[in-house]
Amino acid sequence: MLFNSIDFAIFLPIVFVLYWFVANRSLNAQNLLIVVASYIFYGWWDWRFLLLILFSTVVDFVVGLRLEKEGVPAKRKMLLLVSILVNLGFLGFFKYFNFFLDNFVGVFSLFGVDIDAQSLNIILPVGISFYTFQTLSYSIDVFRRKLEPTRDFVAFAAFVSFFPQLVAGPIERATNLLPQFAVNRSFDHRAAVDGLRQVLWGLFKKVVIADGCADYATSVFSNSADASGSTLVLGAFFFAMQIYGDFSGYSDIAIGTARLFGFRLRKNFAFPYFSRDIAEFWRRWHISLSTWFRDYVYIPLGGSMGRTWIRIRNTLLIFVVSGFWHGANWTFVVWGLLNALYFLPLMLRRRNRSHLGVVAEGRVLPSLRDAGRMLATFCLTLVAWIFFRADSMGHAVSFLGGILSPTLVSIPSRAPKAMLLLIPLFLLVEWLGREGEHALANMGLRWPRALRWAMYYGITLMTMGMAGRPHEFIYFQF
């Protein structure tokens, strides 16, 4: 079920009414309703994969209980290993089986050995990369004794399958979200209203910006061999706007929807295109994934401590694994490696934490120095996005070669005029709202009521006007 679909527009109010007016007298009833609603939400796409979520839920629930009782270190490690193997085993099979098989066959073919191996017609379960990491965080934190295991299976099932963030994040930690299912929740009008503002802005980013940029970006990447250098740059720019609007839009809808039910999810995007270096960009882009790899992989490997080569190794590993998490294609691995190469000079000079605050905080305009840094960081990110979007390594290299051709200074092919107007407006709103939890969090609160509501209605009408056939979110395929 898509957030930007009629199905969800009907589904959400029904669940909301049942949650607050029917199941509101019992915490267990509310949690059970969330489980049922979440399974309906996920099963709407393909009910067969509900068994996958249920199995993963049962395994990690049992492992958590056993970890609490087990005191022998070796046995505790074996229990954790069971959780890791089950979760990553499912993820590896559905997402990477054909990738490894094809590359295995390819390596042998280089030496003249032909292996007759057939790829499987595997359907990738939506959201498996997200809920797998979410359940793993529970097992790991219980193993580390950072979290007491829950004995409430319904609450745990609700944590694993919570429908607002089930299929594309944010990747929630058990330490943050699970305890929220254990306490009574009361309706908070102010939080709900702010949640609706965030949902509205998320829908605008998805339907108007992301979907509005998608056709032109797809056209340019699909016909890159015949496009001028300037057109390729514009196509890459449109894709940068598409993927940001798409993914951060999903996160905004997820976080805002969760607030309607009394839950607080962690921020997943913090206006990353206003970053002044690549380290700041990765603190602001897909925060839940970046911090997951930091806490569960990077730091256990030694993090930034120790010798220089260990720091370099850990950085390269994290970025490459992050790239591979996004998809079973070498383009994603190179995308991760390229970002690592951007990041390493900052880390080696210990300048990777130079920009921790909001750019131009308290001011309308940035300094010329900050503006230059933001532009340089965005350009580096744009180059990396080409590898992310390209169909193959050859496609990415030829795309970059086309950009560096003499046609770079030509007039690009005609882009949608509406988007050329809407993108600057979108970026302006994001810039003005960059100090808030989301772009509309504080915008217009001090305006006259009529003007503030005119803004909300304007955003709503633009979103409805651009809505057509619902487009799937890009990160559904990851």
Q: Give the integer Cα–Cα distance in Å for 68 and 320.
A: 34
Determine which one of 326, 355, 395, 438 is catalytic: 326
Between CA 267 and CA 289 the distance in angstroms is 11
Could you give the CA distance from residue 340 to residue 16 in angstroms, rounded to a whole number? Answer: 43
The 3-state secondary structure of the chain reads CCCCCHHHHHHHHHHHHHHHHHCCCCHHHHHHHHHHHHHHHHHHHHHHHHHHHHHHHHHHHHHHHHHHHCCCHHHHHHHHHHHHHHHHHHHHHHHHHHHHHHHHHHHHHHCCCCCCCCCCCCCCCCCHHHHHHHHHHHHHHHHCCCCCCCCCHHHHHHHHHCHHHCCCCCCCCHHHHHHHHCCCCCCCHHHHHHHHHHHHHHHHHHHHHHHHHHHHHHHHHHCHHHCCHHHHHHHHHHHHHHHHHHHHHHHHHHHHHHHHCCCCCCCCCCCHHHCCCHHHHHHHCCHHHHHHHHHHHHCCCCCCCCCHHHHHHHHHHHHHHHHHHHCCCHHHHHHHHHHHHHHHHHHHCCCCCCCCCCCCCCCCCCCHHHHHHHHHHHHHHHHHHHHHHCCCHHHHHHHHHHHCCHHHHCCCCCCCHHHHHHHHHHHHHHHHCCCCCCCCCCCCCCCCHHHHHHHHHHHHHHHHHHCCCCCCCHHHHC
The amino acid at 119: S
Which residue has tokens 């559905």? 94
Residue 225: φ, ψ to 5°: -65, -25
Residue 314 falls in which region: left (phi positive, over 0), alpha (psi -120 to 50) or beta? alpha
Q: Are the C-beta atoms of 83 and 39 separated by less than 8 Å?
A: no
Widest CA span in the chain: 75
Q: Is 471 a catalytic residue?
A: no
Give the pair of three-digit tokens for residue 459: 């955003």
Round to whole Å and give the CA distance between 98 and 70: 38
Neighbour tally for 367: CB within 10 Å: 11
Active site residues: 326
